[in-house]
Chain A
Amino acid sequence: MADSPSRGVPESPPFMQRMFDNVFLLLVLGIVIMLVVYTGWGMWEILTMPVGTLP
């Protein structure tokens, strides 16, 4: 059965396009990924480093 195109109703952009157009979502994702993978994990690595003792 052929679909009949709906006339007069503006088509919503595809999901990925809407996501890519959402500047503030990208901003939050960019900050969170960096803070978790680089900064947070890195801080954890440094702060949990055992204290070296002199022989």
Chain B
Amino acid sequence: MSTVATFPHRICPATGRVIATSAESLIKVNAVVAVVALLIGAIAALLLVLTRWQAVHLLPAEWYYRILGVHGMNMLIFFIIYFEMAVLWFASTVLLNARPANPKLGWFSFGLMMAGTLMVEWAQWTGRADVLFTSYPPLKAHPALYLGVILFAVGALTVTGLFFATLVIAKREQRYEGSVPLVVYGAVTAAIIAVITLLHGAMIYIPTFLWSIGLIKSIDPQIYRMIWWALGHSSQQINVAAMVAVWYMLSGLTIGGVVLNEKVSRSAFVLYVLFISMASAHHLLVDPGFGPAWKIVNTSYFMYLAVLASMIHGFTVPAGMELGMRLRGFTDGLFGWLRRAPWGDPGFSSLVFSVVVFGFVGGITGVTIGTEQINIIAHNTMRVPGHFHATVVSGTAMAFMGATYYLLPLIFRRKVAFWGLAKMQPYLFSIGMLLLSMGMTFAGSFGVPRRHWDISFAQSPFEVTFNPAVDIVLAVMGIGGILAVTGALAFIAIAVKSVFFGEAITTWPLGKEIAGIPQGLTMPPVHAANVDELNEQLHDEKRGIAGATPGTLVLVGIFLLAFVVYYFTNWKLLSFLWKVG
């Protein structure tokens, strides 16, 4: 890989990588706007959780639904996709020592995305788009909402095209040899899914925009739902691919994690490319317009290949971490490698929490409620947001936060501000999110509907009562939400202070711990002196099925057991609904 560059650049003192000046600016600006969107989304989250907590019930109905739309857009679209744009620029330039293709077009695309963002924010905050995140027809919003989303999507699609162009340039200019690194391959996967997603976005938002200005008479609600979800759900699959890429990156940076098997990990990414987008059909499992064949093929047979991919990454990432630690000499017992890991490094703790909560809570609940039969007892209940808060927030957002702790010194060349708080932030955020997700999931299991302002049905002509336990789980959800928002606001404070007022890093001291710089950067993980001997011992056939990573094998066993228990419990619950005999 070439580190000689003819374009304006600097050399990273920690990693020795070539960082193109034009790419660096684009990474920074996208990351900063992502954090602003996170701030808006987090404030909205606090208002929502204090409304759904029935004992508090903060907002009036009109503002509840308005803020719910704001929360969805800022968190699921703006925060995540701006950050992913930063990831695409970072992966295609910094990780390949390459220059970006056409940075001017990159800035124009960013401008389009910003214009779209501002239009959507204006329409939502002024009450002109109280149609929730999904904007299902016949609900009609101000045209600015649809046009804003279209502009945003065109900008993001252009950046994705520039990402592919940058890969071509990097190859042509011999910035790398052979295959691209695995982390870049994960970004490639995210970019391909982004194209699929944004194409569907254009397919549905352009006619809906024309409908909103009166040029089209009507929009078929069933067609809208199908195509919209190819945007709404697939956009979260971009997250999954980007998040897994970040997992591999943080694993290497924080503890010297290794890639167990390039072929296996890349095959898993290819499975994502081919099969993950059709998970969108999960949202249509109770819709009358589709037959069981379409539903089952899309959500089971093909979709399980993408689930298989997630389970592969769910094994290879922790196993790579375990093997990396063992090769550094931490060989004691089943979990010595985990006990002696740098838990005070926010990049590492974020990585672990992201993997664990994404897999154990998000993954298990997602596959279960995505089963056609079981979906009938979960659809439109709070189990659905319980699931995706565990994947998108506890998984993706947590991983992105962990990456930020490394990007602040590497790209912004600033120390991480409020270092003591930064060490605690992943714990606060992930514990809060875990409580929130579990509270929502259990409330949903008692039948509590999602997107509902008042589950006491105070002014309705009929009476609905829930199990009294619902009050307790909603309180757990509320407390978890407050903790999680506190964690998110702490992250925002750290990021803003670091970027705009942080201490500049002028010299890069290696070999000692420095407050404000994650340990993986000042003390890069290195293998033990006897690494070859250790490797041979770890791969000795006498170790049997436990192999080189016995600790991970045990963890995976616990995961599978939890999966089986939860899955079959749901079938049991389903049998109560339709008692036979």
B274 contact set on A, CB distance < 8 A: 29-30, 33
Are B281 and A17 in contact (CB-based, < 8 A)? no
Interface: B273 (CB within 8 A):
yes
B281 contact set on A, CB distance < 8 A: 38, 42
Q: How far is the CA of A43 from the CA of B284 in the complex (A)?
A: 13
**Known pairs A34-B196, A34-B230, A38-B281; A21 contacts B179 (CB<8 A):** yes
Residue among A16, A17, A37, A45 making CB contact with B278, cutoff 8 Å: A37
Q: How far is the CA of A17 from the CA of B180 in the complex (A)?
A: 11
Q: How far is the CA of A16 from the CA of B280 in the complex (A)?
A: 29
Across the two chains, which residue of chain B brings its CB closest to A41? Answer: B294
**Known pairs A13-B178, A45-B291; A38 contacts B167 (CB<8 A):** no
Interface: B193 (CB within 8 A):
yes
Are B270 and A37 in contact (CB-based, < 8 A)? no
Residue among B180, B192, B267, B290 making CB contact with A45, cutoff 8 Å: B290
Q: How large is the interface on B (under 10, 10 to 19, 20 to 34, 35 or more residues)?
A: 35 or more
Are B273 and A26 in contact (CB-based, < 8 A)? yes
Interface: A51 (CB within 8 A):
no
How would you classify the secondary structure of chain B's contact residues: helix, strand, loop or mixed? Answer: helix
> Smallest Cβ distance from B446 to chain A, in angstroms?
32
Across the two chains, which residue of chain A brings its CB closest to B284? Answer: A42
Are B230 and A39 in contact (CB-based, < 8 A)? yes
Are A23 and B230 in contact (CB-based, < 8 A)? no
Residue among B180, B188, B226 making CB contact with A46, cutoff 8 Å: B226
Are B196 and A30 in contact (CB-based, < 8 A)? yes
Q: How far is the CA of A33 from the CA of B290 in the complex (A)?
A: 18
**Known pairs A13-B178, A34-B278, A37-B297; A27 contacts B192 (CB<8 A):** yes
Q: How far is the CA of A10 from the CA of B512 in the complex (A)?
A: 43
Taking CB atoms and an 8 Å cut-off, the chain A residues in 9-55 that contact chain B are 13, 16-17, 20-21, 23-24, 26-27, 29-31, 33-34, 37-39, 41-43, 45-46, 49
Where the two chains meet, the residues of B that have a C-beta atom closer than 8 Å to any C-beta of A are 164, 167, 178-180, 188, 192-193, 195-196, 199-200, 203, 220, 222-223, 226-227, 230, 263, 266-267, 270, 273-275, 277-278, 280-281, 284, 289-291, 294, 297-298, 302
Given contacts A37-B298, A38-B281, 7 further A-B contacts (CB under 8 A): A29-B273, A31-B195, A31-B196, A34-B278, A41-B294, A42-B281, A45-B289
> 16 A–B contact pairs at CB < 8 A?
A13-B178, A26-B188, A27-B164, A30-B196, A30-B274, A31-B196, A33-B278, A34-B196, A37-B278, A38-B298, A39-B200, A39-B203, A42-B281, A45-B289, A45-B290, A46-B290
